Structures are given as structure tokens and as C-alpha cells.
């Protein structure tokens, strides 16, 4: 086992000196990073759900075409769910693009 050393253990005085960035800004940057991470995770999860809904609808359509599903209502419902999920994702995408454009104009 190799020994590990941390930079702070080698230079104990540096941790007491503080940072060039004020503490209030560090907290804001940390909160912003956490919020961005949370938003990214939520967006990724929702896009995965849209993809799952699409795959489910495609699978039911294949089974229906093969004659393994007799209830056309299940297939229709799965197709409508997939359609609504995709339209919602598209609307969210358009809103985000609009927000980014507004932010660009503000700078």
C-alpha cells in the first residue's frame, strides 16, 4: 500500500489563509453548481423516460403487427403516451432555447 498525501496536509498554513474569492461568492457558486447538477440530472431522467415510452410504444406496435396483441386499445394508448411525451420534450427544448437566447441578449 502506497502512502497518500493531501496538499493541505503538506501545507497547513494555506487552508487558514482563505481564498481570493469572498466566502459569500463561494457559497453562491456552490449553490449554483448544485442547482445545475440537479437540473441536469432531472432533465436526463425525464429524457430517459421519454425514450422508454417511445420504446414501449414501438414494442407494442411490433407485437400488434405480429398478431401477439389483440387489444388495439393498448397499442393506441401506448402510441398516444409516446406522442405526448415527445411533444412535451419538444416544448421544453424550445423554451430552453428561448431562455438561452434571452440570456445571450442580456450580456
Q: Is residue 61 exposed (0-12), middle (13-18) or buried (19+ Cβ within 10 Å)? A: middle
> Whose CA is closest to 74, among 57, 50, 51, 54?
57
| Every domain of the chain and the residues it spans | 45-107
What's the first-to-final CA gap in the chain, in angstroms?
Answer: 52
pTM for the model stands at 0.65
The pLDDT of residue 36 is 85
d(CA 72, CA 90): 27
pLDDT in tens, 44-96: 999 999 999 999 999 999 999 999 998 999 999 999 999 999 999 999 999 99
Q: What are the tens digits of pLDDT across the range 2-57?
A: 444 444 434 444 444 444 555 656 666 788 888 888 988 999 999 999 999 999 99
Amino acid at each position: 500500500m502506497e502512502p497518500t498525501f493531501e496538499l493541505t496536509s503538506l501545507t497547513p498554513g494555506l487552508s487558514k489563509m482563505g481564498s481570493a474569492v469572498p466566502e459569500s461568492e463561494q457559497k453562491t457558486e456552490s449553490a449554483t453548481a448544485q442547482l445545475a447538477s440537479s437540473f441536469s440530472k432531472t432533465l436526463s431522467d425525464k429524457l430517459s423516460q421519454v425514450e422508454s415510452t417511445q420504446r414501449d410504444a414501438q414494442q407494442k406496435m411490433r407485437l400488434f403487427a405480429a398478431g401477439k396483441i389483440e387489444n388495439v386499445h393498448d397499442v393506441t394508448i401506448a402510441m398516444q403516451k409516446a406522442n405526448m411525451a415527445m411533444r412535451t420534450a419538444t416544448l421544453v427544448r424550445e423554451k430552453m432555447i428561448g431562455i438561452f437566447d434571452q440570456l445571450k441578449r442580456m450580456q
